[in-house]
Amino acid sequence: MYIAALNVLDSSDEIEVENLTTSATGCLHDYTITTEDMKKLADADVFIINGGDMESFLSDIVKNYPDLYVINASEGISLLSEREETAENTSGLGDTEDEANAHVWLNPLLYQAQIENIKNGILEYLKQEDKDESNLVTLINNNTETYLSKVKSIDIRLDEELQGIKKEGVVIFHDAFAYLADRIGLPVYHTVEIESDTALNASEIADIIKLVQDGKVKLLFTELQYSDTIANRIEEETDAKVYIIDSGVTGDGSKDSYLKAMEHNLSVLKDALK
């Protein structure tokens, strides 16, 4: 959301964009609020959230700042659910929780809708505050168009360059990849919920190894910010292959870092599915 906001508000002197998380946080799931962050929220006029319950604990905190204008970037977007992702699998390993999967941005089509939501939210806020000077509104609209066209072109390349790929079943090690898999039509057989510090139990590892041995799964996708120990162990014990994708949460924070992450993912997917 930070990267999207940087692009939408590029070269605007009036509006300052700050990231509440750092790239060291990894996914927002692994984030805990600090006093420093509380101060940032107290000083802010607008708070852009990903939504989909990603910031569930923050919504309580935000109640302390009734004047903070909250923009939910996922408004109107239908989210994948954790259950839906695994319901089709025949392995019996499906999640029992029925939570929404909030990692919307990994589908570049839906990310474009998030960018629109952010732009519309900012314009609405400016209007409400009587700060919608035409120069600023034009800048924001132009910035948004420029950024959308860049995201669109990487999205089109997903279709063009992944044409005729093998639609192999995959196991993923964090549900962010589910959105990218959904975009390119890859069936996800199992989602391993690795948090930053939890270890998988032996029986879950054994279940995954069985999925691979039964020939249902040939590819494992993990992400940059997580340790690949478990994935490597499964790779060692089976003939599955491990690939590392970039969910865009560990980049350098520059305004092109989402595009760079998707560029990386495209080449990984080409390599994995050729």
Which residues are near Zn ion by CB under 5 A?
27, 29
**Pick 29 or 83: Cβ nearer Zn ion:** 29
Question: Strand, helix or coil at 223?
Answer: strand
Of 27 and 234, which CB lies nearer to Zn ion in the complex structure?
27
Ranges of beta strands (E only) in the chain are: 46-49, 69-72, 170-172, 188-191, 219-223, 241-245
Q: In the complex with Zn ion, which residue's Cβ is closer, 8 or 27? A: 27
Cα dist. 161→130, 186, 270 in Å?
46, 15, 7
Backbone angles phi, psi at 64, to 5 degrees: -75, -15
Question: C-alpha distances in angstroms, 38 versus 21, 43, 81, 87?
Answer: 12, 9, 30, 39
Which residues, 6+ apart, have CB-to-CB distance to 174 below 8 Å? Answer: 27, 191, 192, 193, 194, 222, 223, 226, 247
Nearest to 97 by CA among 109, 108, 86: 86
Place of tokens 């990231």: 19
**Between 200 and 273, CB nearer to Zn ion:** 200
Q: Which residue is nearest to Zn ion (CB)?
A: 27
Are the C-beta atoms of 45 and 66 separated by less than 8 Å?
no
d(C-alpha 137, C-alpha 73), whole Å: 19
CB of 223 to Zn ion, least distance (A): 9
Shortest separation between residue 165's beta carbon and Zn ion, angstroms: 25
Instruction: Provide, rounded to whole angstroms, the least separation between the CB of residue 268 and Zn ion.
Output: 18
Residue 29 or 210: the one with the smaller Cβ distance to Zn ion is: 29
Q: How far is the CB of 191 from Zn ion (least distance, A)?
A: 11
* 37/55 with CB nearer Zn ion: 55
Minimum CB separation from Zn ion for residue 245, in Å? 13
Q: Which is nearer to Zn ion, 147 or 177 (CB)?
A: 177
Task: For helices 177-184 and 108-128, give the axis angle rounded to 10 degrees.
Answer: 120
Least distance CB 172 / Zn ion (angstroms): 11
- Closest approach, Cβ 156 to Zn ion, in A, equals 26
